[in-house]
Amino acid sequence: MGLFKRSTGAAPDTISPHTPDSQSTSPTRSNDEKDLEAIHSEHTTSAPQSKWKLSAKSGDGDVAMALFGSPDELHEPISHEEERRVKRKIDWMILPYLAVCYAFFYIDKTTLSYAAIFGIREDLKLVGTEYSWLSSIFYFGFLAWAFPTNFLMQRLPIGKYLGFNIFLWGAFLMLQASAKNFTQLAVLRAFAGAAEACSDPSFMLITSMWYKRNEQPRAMGTWYVANGAGIALGGLLGYGIGNIHGAVPIWKLEFVIIGALCCVWGVVMFVFLPDSPVTAKGLSHREKRVAVERLRGNQTGVENKHLKGYQVREAFSDIKLYLFYILGVVCNVPNGGISNFGTIIIKGFGFSTLETTLMQIPYGAIIAISILICVFANEYVEKSGRQARTWFILLFLCPNIAGSFGLAFLDANNKAGRLTCYYLTGPYNAAFCMILSMSTANTAGHTKKVVTNAVLFLGYCTGNIIGPFFYLTSQSPRYQLGIWSMIVSHLIEVCVILLLRFLLAKENKRRDRVQGLEVGGLAGRDLDATAFSDMTDRENMNFRYIF
């Protein structure tokens, strides 16, 4: 048995039922033979099955099947040039919308941080840990709505659902300008967090619906790089808004202006972002089939609108889910602190309020450059057939660990050195982007993907909730405990990434060994039959993990 407990479901179109004779084996049979028998042993029935019901447990296949009239049409021959042309069209249909949206997400996360240096703590009379609670309460809303919003994403048109939530999120952001005290602002931030709960999970689902697994890091990097752009743009907006002199407090203008821009973009997303390759209005019927055919090798399908209980159970029995949860936590303990206390840390270096807003621009640029280098370098290495995603995660954690140690030990008077170390904490975003790509690439079965994404972002919420509480007011502006929380989190992340790589590599070797015993061996696998069956990565023995 592998470290990943297998589901015994199989694809009846590709695996023949066992006969009594075929089940009799020698007492000295090997473990590999036992593994091979386990693949074929259950869920056979004499009743005829629909030609599209490829997964015995799921009962129905992927929505991509709607584009094909018969099994003979399942394999769509396409030229390399036609595929490139369709992919370019897809890029323009998907990535700009997600990138702009992601920039707004991070601008929103830093809005409270800018409000802090523009006087919100004094105007609302925030005391003690109330500011930290305002940082964390956003993620309580995110946490509470994480599972419901992920299941709604599966049932509803994802593009329209995402646009609607972005509009709501912008509206709640605008309303925060009307808050008169801590309680009112906390409630509004919780609602805003609930509205944003669909953001990253929906982006991951959309990316997996449109891109090959080897393309997903670059696609994710394209929209995730807007994280850095959002920080830089947030700095420019903060500087511009900070120069507005009027009767309305500057921190209120931050909420109103950025919230209004988000509302407008939510409408744009609702109208123009396609829901799936099967229904995209911007593609011809032929182009839709090409878009789907490109994803055959993923073995993860496009989409399935039915919530499948067995996939929920399987997700929670899979060790990968818990490792991704831990990664969600330890990656975002640093994020929860830096995104809300970063401006306060920089101001503590001796910069003025407006200078502090501008100091975030280089930080955002470093994040953007780190992500681009990471995803393109990974793509170059993977073209040679090497598994390198976990190595790139570890590589881009090194600057963060070094920068965190620098912030912990450099003398307070060494402002240039401490600012440099602060900037070195940016590349962890590249590492987290690669972790997101590993989650989408290594989970099959649409319901299982939804559950795995939800749990990963439960970890994301947990990290962002607890992160700010390491930044004690009594330790401002050095925040020694907060800096050590970053160091410990990154070191735990290193250990979890190495464990994940070991487990995925071991399971791939086991599957190669088991399928090598079948008639035809590895070369004789029928990849077409399982590509759009909505089988999970455990059910589908043709699936291979990426690490």
State which amino acid sits at residue 20.
P
CATH number of the domain located at residue range(s) 310-514+535-546 in this protein: 1.20.1250.20
Q: Which of 168-177, 255-264, 355-364, 403-412 has the lowest mean pLDDT?
A: 355-364
Query: Is 531 in contact with 296 (CB distance < 8 Å)?
Result: yes
Is residue 312 predicted with pLDDT exceeding 60? yes
Return d(Cα 370, Cα 396) in angstroms, integer: 8
Tell me which residue has tokens 């889910």: 321
CA distances (Å), origin 453, targets 131, 299, 515: 29, 18, 29
Return d(Cα 490, Cα 420) in angstroms, integer: 19
For 496-513, the pLDDT digits (tens) are 999 999 999 999 999 999
Is this structure's pTM higher than 0.85?
Answer: no
pLDDT given for residue 302 in this prediction: 66
Q: Which of 40-44, 116-120, 259-263, 409-413 has the lowest mean pLDDT?
A: 40-44
**DSSP conformation letters of 468-485:** GGGS-GGGTTT-HHHHHH
CATH superfamily of the 74-297 domain: MFS general substrate transporter like domains (1.20.1250.20)
- What are the backbone angles phi and psi of residue 348, rounded to the nearest 5°? -70, -15
Task: Tokens for 175, please give them.
Answer: 């309303």
Q: Which residues of 435-454 are buried (b: 16+ CB within 10 A; e: fewer)?
A: bbbbbbbbbbbbbbbbbbbb
Q: Can 74-297 and 310-514+535-546 be said to share one CATH topology?
A: yes
CA angle 298, 290, 58 (to 5 degrees): 45
Is residue 264 predicted with pLDDT exceeding 90? yes
pLDDT given for residue 31 in this prediction: 52
Task: Tokens for 156, please give them.
Answer: 């509803």
Which band of pLDDT confidence, cut at 50, 70 and 90, is reported for residue 122?
confident
Return d(Cα 470, Cα 334) in angstroms, integer: 10
Which band of pLDDT confidence, cut at 50, 70 and 90, is reported for residue 5?
low
pLDDT given for residue 125 in this prediction: 87
Is residue 94 predicted with pLDDT exceeding 60? yes
Query: Is 497 in contact with 390 (CB distance < 8 Å)?
Result: yes
Which band of pLDDT confidence, cut at 50, 70 and 90, is reported for residue 524?
low
Return d(Cα 435, Cα 450) in angstroms, integer: 16
**DSSP conformation letters of 302-334:** S---S--HHHHHHHHT-HHHHHHHHHHHHHHHH
Contacts of 293 (CB under 8 A, 6+ apart): 75, 76, 78
For 199-234, the pLDDT digits (tens) are 888 998 899 889 988 898 999 998 888 877 777 777
Beta carbons within 10 angstroms of residue 461's beta carbon: 25
Beta carbons within 10 angstroms of residue 23's beta carbon: 10
For 420-456, the pLDDT digits (tens) are 998 998 898 899 999 999 998 899 888 899 899 989 9
pLDDT given for residue 245 in this prediction: 79
Is residue 72 predicted with pLDDT exceeding 80? no
Contacts of 468 (CB under 8 A, 6+ apart): 132, 135, 136, 336, 337, 340, 341
For the chain, give every domain's residue range.
Answer: 74-297, 310-514+535-546
Is residue 340 predicted with pLDDT exceeding 70? no
pLDDT given for residue 308 in this prediction: 87
Nearest residue to 106 via CA among 228, 254, 195, 220: 228
pLDDT given for residue 165 in this prediction: 94
Is residue 545 predicted with pLDDT exceeding 70? yes
pLDDT given for residue 167 in this prediction: 95
pLDDT given for residue 191 in this prediction: 94
Return d(Cα 23, Cα 189) in angstroms, integer: 60
What is the average pLDDT score of the chain?
81
Q: What is the mean pLDDT of residues 26-49?
A: 43
pLDDT given for residue 242 in this prediction: 77
Which band of pLDDT confidence, cut at 50, 70 and 90, is reported for residue 279?
confident
* DSSP 8-state class, residue 410: S
CA distances (Å), origin 509, targets 270, 382, 432, 445: 44, 18, 26, 22
What's the distance, Cα to Cα, between the start and end of the chain in Å?
21
Query: Is 447 in contact with 536 (CB distance < 8 Å)?
Result: no
Query: Is 123 in contact with 249 (CB distance < 8 Å)?
Result: yes
pLDDT given for residue 303 in this prediction: 65
